[in-house]
Amino acid sequence: MTSKRLFCFGLGYSARRLADRLLAEGWRVAGTTRDEAKAGELRAAGVEACVFDRGQPLADAATALAGTTHLLSSVPPNREGDPVLDHHAGDIAALAGRLAWAGYLSTTGVYGNREGGWVDEESELHPTSARAERRVAAEHAWLRLHAGQGIPVHVFRLAGIYGPGRSPLDAVRQGRAKRIDKPGQVFSRIHVEDIATVLQASMARPNPGRVYNVCDDEPAAPAEVTEHACRLLGVESPPLVALEDAGLSDMGKTFWQDNKRVSNRRMHEELGVRLAYPDYRTGLEALLGGGG
């Protein structure tokens, strides 16, 4: 059995893909969820699971983190800050010298709006929403753990995530798909399995303090992606609608404030990553066929 142990704050949609891969490779995997019922499901899958949330810190952090060689946080900040660091920054700092790798999952939303222009990891951060501003603050706080405490932190800025059960195909099937008419608007995206691939590649090549964009090779217009999903399913595309008539939630509207193309060159060149789904077409086609 391997001595490697991943502890993940927030075993949600993306982090669970990584956890499942590492369990299959013989790693010990531990992590948190927000409710006891989900913790029970994780335990049944072989995960050492415990409950954690804002206002509900780990009951015994030293025991929960004991033996951890790799640490990941996918917990987003809220209005009060980053719950993981607010409750357990000291406990994580105490792992200095024992952690081989630590990762924080952020978002490409930290770049803000570039009117369709390109950004890379050296671009200035110009968040356009309060949620994105909180992400910038959380990134800085995690990177301070590296600079000040020697924790080998890596930041991963994720583009729009899709995969099984959470894709344009599902939106079309459920009658939720919209084609919003906003000429020139593009988004970057990433398949959930490719996120796990990038994280594993970083674990194999640690470079503490480094930031990586995690997205596929082809930014594309959302309406184009929806149209392709409809084509694959053999159904008619929904009509184009104006943004103001699309009935988006407040959170949904904030995504449309930003228009940018995200470069993934560093991910490819430094980590040697070859994406299984380098564009939305390969991703959606795999999902339709039951893969991905």
- Read off the CATH number of the domain in which 38 is found: 3.40.50.720
Domain count, the chain: 1
Distances (CA, A) of 57 to 50, 92, 96: 10, 13, 20
136 occurs within a structural domain: yes
Asked if residues 64 and 82 have their Cβ atoms less than 8 Å apart, the reply is no
User: Rounded to whole angstroms, how far apart are CA atoms 109 and 200?
Assistant: 23
Query: Is position 222 within any domain?
Result: no
Decide if 195 is inside a domain. Answer: yes
Rg (C-alpha) for the chain, rounded Å, is 19
Q: Is residue 34 part of a domain?
A: yes
Yes or no: say if 213 and 109 are a contact pair by the CB < 8 Å rule. Answer: no
Within a domain: residue 223?
Answer: no
Q: Is residue 33 part of a domain?
A: yes
Cβ-in-10-Å burial (0-12, 13-18, 19+) of 61 comes to middle
Cα 219 to Cα 118: distance, rounded to the nearest angstrom: 10
- How far apart, in whole angstroms, are the C-alpha atoms of residue 61 and residue 88? 8
- pTM value is 0.96
pLDDT by residue for the chain (292 residues), tens only, comes to: 469 999 999 999 999 999 999 999 999 999 999 999 999 999 999 999 999 999 999 999 999 999 999 999 999 999 999 999 999 999 999 999 999 999 999 999 999 999 999 999 999 999 999 999 999 999 999 999 999 999 999 999 999 999 999 999 999 999 999 999 999 999 999 999 999 999 999 999 999 999 999 999 999 999 999 999 999 999 999 999 998 888 888 888 888 999 999 999 999 999 999 999 999 999 999 999 886 6
33: phi then psi, degrees, rounded to nearest 5: -140, 170
**Could you tell me the two tokens for 92?**
């994580």
SS3 annotation, the chain: CCCCEEEEECCCHHHHHHHHHHHHCCCEEEEEECCHHHHHHHHHCCCEEEECECCECCCCHHHHHCCCCEEEECCCCECCECHHHHHHHHHHHCCCCCCCEEEEEEEHHHHCCCCCCEECCCCCCCCCCHHHHHHHHHHHHHHHHHHHHCCCEEEEEECEEEECCECHHHHHHCCCCCEEECCCCCECEEEHHHHHHHHHHHHHCCCCCCEEEECCCCCECHHHHHHHHHHHHCCCCCCEEEHHHCCCCHHHHHHCCCCCEECCHHHHHHHCCCCCCCCHHHHHHHHHCCCC
Residue 122: domain span: 5-161+191-215+264-274
**Crossing angle of helices 130-149/83-93, nearest 10°?**
10
Asked whether residue 154 is assigned to any structural domain, the reply reads: yes
Residue 171 in domain: no
Q: Measuring CA to CA, how many Å separate 17 from each of 8, 11, 196, 231, 254?
A: 12, 9, 6, 28, 27
